Structure 1
């Protein structure tokens, strides 16, 4: 009983309100489907209303019977076209409307089926606002045409101005409608209630009928003078418009000419659904409304409307919200509204002969002014001045040249605005030298010190966003500036690192720009290093296509030791490529460290020869090296007129002789003392005896590749590991916006891992895996506690040494984290 009697009775107020809204829309939009001021359409106002109701009923049923998530949505129709010559013109026009509906339905269906409901979000909002403002202006012009009973096309001319303002009768006709629309706008400023507009358009015709009754005015006279619409001839039924279909009389050439207008109407319909549907979902408390489902429902609605010969339709936010809020939030209520609309359709369009023109005119004026206000008034001061200029230009173009032309101008301006706005975005997130950003490889102290001194020979650019023809020029200029005479004189570089990890897309113009950068790098004998690239990725393929890098460059993608490739066989410094920035920086650092170790070996050779010469009592230092010796060749190479080589040599020599504390010769020392010296000798001043005592607490352990030493979150029972031989990999996992990300650190021989867990007792912050077979020396928690008990002074000094080492490592990790930001 409740479901079949009481609930439907409760929907009646909402159905009455929805029917009133449909009548108001039918009077306004239905009456402008055909240009009533142009022959042979003067008498087709009732047919437009009938077509509106048919389309409205179809859409109401599709939505209410489950096509949409909204159980009681409401629809409207927007269509406008012009033509010439009676039977053929009517047959062509009515078929064009049906084909336009089919086209719109097909587009809606395709967008929903391929899950492209969010596609409209990529279209600039201010362009959409401009199109809406242009439609508003068309409605204002249509209001003048209908309310003045204009019999010719509206033009911006002196003749039109004289017709509207110098003919007192015409002026009274349109000014009464315009005045009613202005009165409604004033009332809206005072009264904020959703039922104001429906109530207003119920009261105005009531006042009109009261005046006619009080003064006994003749209806035929009112129709003749243009105050009331004429009666349809012969009391034609609502389905009379079907008699206009005639394929034999259809002008197919004219149909083809209307295709641009069909596309424009389709585009305008597409603009509304992805905007109205989410807005209605928010207002009715329906989160996560499936826009693609709504597009498919609109596709079916328009396909059926086109199939039965009527016009387009789409869900209207305001009408649907009023209907739902008034109790029509039910599929039964939607079906009841469709049934009531069918009843009005069957009654026939004779009711048009008793509708005051001023009511229709004022409603059209109201709708038009509302849209123009939304576009030109509400946006003033809220959008950028260039965006506002774009909105105004679209409105002016639609008013001056036409609806289709305005739509195309909007699309063109959207493209221009996209290029201009995106070209202003910074393609370079930041740039720095290797002094600020370092790899995550855990190195011995002297290597770290050397790299700090020569790190400025590595220059890093972290790129971001979409690289296209609008942004590449600025990026290229910023990179080329590194090679300007002023910058090059102050800081000649050896490696140029380009990090593409935040780059989403590279078009052909941008790829060509990177090709020019590569050629510039070659001229300066600089090695180009690419980071964050995937051979199969879109960015990697784009750069490969123009020869910036090739398949051979990926030789070391897995290990971080890529050997690059020679794109043009004469390259002295081939392009290198790596999957991440840390691997790229590791490669650059390893190349620089080669100079350090060559200097170290040559220094040892010089010292040896010097001792031999002292034994032979040869005092001439110039004879210290023979011209053919390796050391002589090395120093002659690095003392040539090359700022980069001289800088490397001086930094290596300074690192080797820093603090006048030469590295102890480990020939007579047993492991782990040499490894302890490599790790800690330069951090604090400690004698070899200190490291000999410390080594007594370390225990040797051999590991195989893939051995997990500890896992992230585990207890630090294993203590600390010192690497004698092999490589460890420390992997830290963390969540970022629901995604699991990893930070990887490489631990090389002569370094330690796990000191923070040993000293603090906190759980492990990372998982450490042996990357290769290796030899480790471990200091467990138990052995460390024994050291504290047996020799507290040794334990305290060891903690200081280890924490000094950790501080240096944390600085390196902080610099790398900065490079990722």
Structure 2
């Protein structure tokens, strides 16, 4: 006979809360959903409205000329060391003992002789670019001050080269003036020409230019250091690729126009186009173009890192030979514009430390020669260019560091590199230099030539210091077209790579952004292009992000019911009418673009399904902006018009506050901690609405008989099975078992509800299932003779019937046909649960 029995082996425990509390309000604030039509209410007022980033590094200005990735790696067989070799397996080290700094990076990793040899070769290229960039900035009306420009460029190479080699992430890194920033600086200086023309003395005009250069370097250095200090090195990953390509292509255009202005003294613009055909200008520009073509072609046939320096020396020697044969003196050649006219002065300003006397002349601080009104006007004029220099410098540094990472298989700390570059530019500004930073090609040239330690970079800086000590007048022997052709080739390469070749990598619309930025920079200046680029980046981000659906899944209760296992009659009702409760699982950050798409989806859903209730699940939503809240306000209005109840689950306090401010949340909206409780309540409302509560009064023994089916010789199979079961009364909050306990019985639920809990030591238990009346629990462990896979706790007072192992064996002997029927029921039950799981997976995968 059936027996009443208390669960002595499982004393009553304190119930464990399985869900986190609702962040915004306690549950009593929620409204129990009702599927009856709601009374009319006034509608709430509608509220008011980071790869991908560039995949590769910024292409350095002279990368193609020295071809470090191809030529050096072919000729010198420089290869990244396999990781299992350790520090002694670095190529070129020959197992030499390395001296390291406090960060563990080598000062002389491959021996000082290798570093010295690499420094000599690399320094020749660095000097060529220092001369070129100094001449680019001090061209046109400022060409009389070319000696100071070359000095400032060399000083930049000294300071940034030494500091970056000493403090930077890459021990073989080479820093100095770079084409991207220098092109903007040249445009900035050219824009100061009208203001400089109003000044009374040459020294005042020179002070204006030097102060602008040093000020931009100081601001850039401070921003770089702060970015590194705040560990913001990864911000570059979120910069739109089309905008970066547009900036670099615009930089190429600035270099081309600067090269033309340097060799001819005329501006490459629509207004200045007729002047390009005056006097010797056509011949000077034509010779510059021809020399750029030579620099493009020669490295394709003659490979090696020394090709470019030797070509520059050869062109200089040949030019002086032709001038001698033509009977032109150096002074006449300088007057005609074939050579640079550079004075023998070599002056450095120590900003804030007073004048530095050289050759018997006193040169005052650049800050002391202009009035406050003049400084104020100049500051306003160059503010945009300084901002452009900061942006381009940050992007170039981070992407160049990434390029060196890829080429040398070394992982870089970008934040450390930013701090080192910031310190270098601050010091450069204080000593009279301008912006400089890490170069990909010069660093890889040093690496390919055998430089591994910090000594090589420091020696390159000292070579620049030596040339600075000799005097900038050495550039006076270099023909203008030699440096102009080098700059022209660099600019054309940037235009080719980022304006022409980018068409293959970008969609047509993205490519139009690149073209537009170049045209804006050419016609209105880099400042306008900078702000247009920032605006384009925001628009691109908005459009791209709006294409990402914020809907993780959409399903009805008939496809994905709650975790409560109900009687078959109830499940049949939910299968027939579950589509009347629709669930939309949201994700990511919701803003106005994605929220409007959600609004359109809800309108179509309401028109098609006519649901009784709609649930928005926010547990995967990171945030929502106020503009998106306006779309949710419109969604709420659409649902009220359709008499569809709105439920919100798993919403964070901040997002809830945004919706409250937009008057989306009111007393007619139900709030839930999680999705499952909302589904359970809505299922109850569906069952009540369709008046299918027959199972609530169905006798337990009749359910057993229907589940087992007719059995020969046993007309009432339920009563026969009941005789072998033991009756248990389980008070609310009491555990029937815990996970890992031995499975000594399977249980039939007559009344009440059991929670199936996953338990982990030190963590709250998680409810994964709930077993309602007229259900079976524990059958898997019972027939597999396995420990309990989860805990079972009574959510309310329960009446259970236990089939123990002994009773099951007696049942096998007494009623084998009944055991077969029971096994058939268990198989059908598992098949139904598997089908249920498949429907859930299908619903979540849509």
Distance 2:368 2:697 in 1: 105
CA spacing shift, 1:685–1:477, aligned 2, 3 Å: farther
CA deviation string 1:560-605 (max 9, x = no partner): xxxxxxx25xxxxx21122333222222102112235x5546xxxx
- Cross-structure match for 2:157: 56
Q: CA deviation at 1:750?
A: 2.5
Q: Give secondary structure in 2 for the equivalent of 1:118.
A: helix
Contact persistence 1:437–1:819 (CA under 8 A): yes
124, 127, 138: which is aligned to 2:254? 138
Matched, 1:720 2:743: no
Query: Residue in 2 aligned with 1:693?
Result: 720
Compute the displacement of 1:688 (Å): 6.9
1:55, CA displacement in angstroms? 2.2
Residue number in structure 1 paired with 2:140 = 37
In 2, distance between residues paired with 1:769 and 1:100?
Answer: 69
Aligned twin of 1:709: 737
Shift of 1:22: 1.5
* SS, match of residue 379 in structure 2: helix
Contact 1:679 1:751 in 2 (8 A): no
8 Å contact from structure 2 (residues 162, 458) kept in 1: yes
How many matched pairs? Answer: 707
Secondary structure of the equivalent of 2:755?
Answer: strand
Change (3 A) 1:764 1:381: farther
Q: 1:200 to 1:691 in 2, by over 3 A?
A: farther
Alpha-carbon distance in structure 2 between the residues aligned to 1:733 and 1:144? 75
Secondary structure of 1:802's aligned partner: helix
Distance 1:758 1:2, change over 3 A: closer
Task: Rate the CA distance shift 1:309–1:219 in 2: closer, same or farther, 3 A.
Answer: closer
- Alpha-carbon separation, structure 1, partners of 2:709 and 2:164: 79
Q: How far apart in 2 are the matches of 1:773 and 1:317?
A: 73
Which of 261, 269, 275 in structure 1 is aligned with 2:393? Answer: 269
Q: 2:242 aligns with which of 122, 126, 130?
A: 126
Pairwise mapping of residues 405-804 of structure 1 onto structure 2 (< 5 A)? 405-484=528-607, 487=608, 491-534=609-652, 536=653, 538-549=654-665, 567=666, 574-595=668-689, 600=693, 666=699, 674=700, 678=703, 681=706, 689-701=716-728, 705=733, 707=735, 709-711=737-739, 714=740, 717-718=743-744, 720-731=746-757, 744-760=768-784, 766=790, 768-771=792-795, 774-780=798-804, 784=808, 787-788=811-812, 791-804=815-828
In the TM superposition, residue 252 of structure 1 has moved relative to its aligned partner by 1.5
Separation (CA, whole Å) in 1 of partners of 2:593 and 2:428: 44
Give the deviation of 1:202 after TM superposition. Answer: 4.5
SS in 1 for 2:144: coil
Structure-2 change in CA distance of 1:792 and 1:109 (3 Å)? farther
**CA positional deviation for 1:547:** 2.5
RMSD over aligned Cα, in angstroms?
3.3
Deviation at 1:11, TM superposition (A): 0.9
Higher relative contact order (CA 8 A, sep 6+): 2
How far apart are residue 291 of structure 1 and its match? 1.7
| Residues 1:155 and 2:269 aligned together | yes
1:337 partner SS: helix
Q: Is the 8 A contact 2:169 2:413 kept in 1?
A: no
- Which of 164, 171, 175 matches 2:276? 164
- How far does residue 322 in structure 1 lie from its aligned partner after superposition? 1.8
Tell me what 1:403 maps to.
526
Q: Secondary structure at the match of 1:415?
A: helix
1:210-229 to structure 2, matched below 5 A, reads: 211=322, 218-229=329-340
Does structure 1 residue 286 correspond to structure 2 residue 410? Answer: yes
Unaligned residue ranges in structure 1 (runs of 5+): 550-566, 569-573, 602-655, 657-662, 667-673, 735-739
CA–CA distance in 2 between the matches of 1:529 and 1:688? 48
**What SS does the aligned partner of 1:525 have?**
coil
Whether 1:24 and 2:128 are equivalent positions in the alignment is: yes
Which residue pairs with 1:624 in the alignment?
A: none
Q: Does 1:111 align with 2:227?
A: yes
SS in 2 for 1:259: helix
Where does residue 561 of structure 1 map in the other structure? none
* Residues 275 and 3 of structure 1, relative CA distance in 2, 3 Å threshold: closer
Asked whether the 8 Å contact 2:724–2:811 carries over to 1, the reply is: yes
Q: What residue in structure 2 maps to residue 249 of structure 1?
A: 369
Q: Distance in 1 between matches of 2:447 and 2:814?
A: 82
Aligned to 1:306: 429
CA–CA separation in structure 2 for the residues paired with 1:200 and 1:779: 95
2:832 maps to 808
Superposed displacement of residue 459, structure 1: 1.8
d(CA) in 2 for partners of 1:263, 1:350: 32
Distance 2:174 2:734 in 1: 62
1:719-769 deviations in whole A, cap 9, x for unaligned? Answer: 5333345433334699xxxxx997822222332233333344567655555
Q: Secondary structure at the match of 1:230?
A: coil
CA distances 1:308-334 after superposition (whole Å, capped 9, x unpaired)? 332112212222222223222212222
Query: How many angstroms apart in 2 are the aligned matches of 1:96 and 1:688?
Result: 103
**Does the CA contact (< 8 Å) of 1:445 and 1:805 recur in 2?**
no
Q: In 1, are the aligned partners of 2:214 and 2:433 still within 8 Å (CA)?
A: yes
Give the deviation of 1:393 after TM superposition: 0.5
**Displacement of 1:238 after TM fit?**
5.9
How big is each residue's C-alpha offset from its partner over 1:233-268, in whole Å with a ceiling of 9 and x where there is no partner?
x44456699736333322222223321221111111
| Equivalent position to 2:288, from 177, 193, 198 | 177
Pairing partner for 2:482 from 349, 353, 359: 359
Distance 1:692 1:143 in 2: 101
Structure 2 CA distance for partners of 1:195 and 1:353, relative to 1, 3 Å? closer
Conserved 8 A contact 1:439-1:816: no
Q: What does residue 633 of structure 1 align with? A: none
Question: Please, which moves more after superposition, 473-482 or 682-691?
Answer: 682-691
Instruction: Give SS of 1:459's match.
Output: strand
Task: Determine the C-alpha separation between the residues in 2 that align with 1:458 and 1:116.
Answer: 46
- Cα displacement (A) at 1:363: 0.8
Q: Report the equivalent of 2:114.
A: 10
Q: Does 1:231 align with 2:355?
A: no
Contact 1:63 1:71 in 2 (8 A): no
Tell me which moved more, 785-794 or 17-26: 785-794
In structure 2, the CA distance between the partners of 1:497 and 1:335, relative to structure 1 (3 Å rule), is same
Aligned-partner Cα distance in 2 for 1:809–1:237: 86
Match of 2:74 in 1: none
The structural deviation recorded for 1:279 is 2.1
| Equivalent residue, structure 2, for 1:201 | 312
Contact 1:529/1:584, CA 8 A, preserved across alignment: yes
CA contact (8 A) 1:59 1:301 kept: yes
2:92 aligns with none
Between the aligned partners of 1:293 and 1:390, the Cα distance in structure 2 is 33
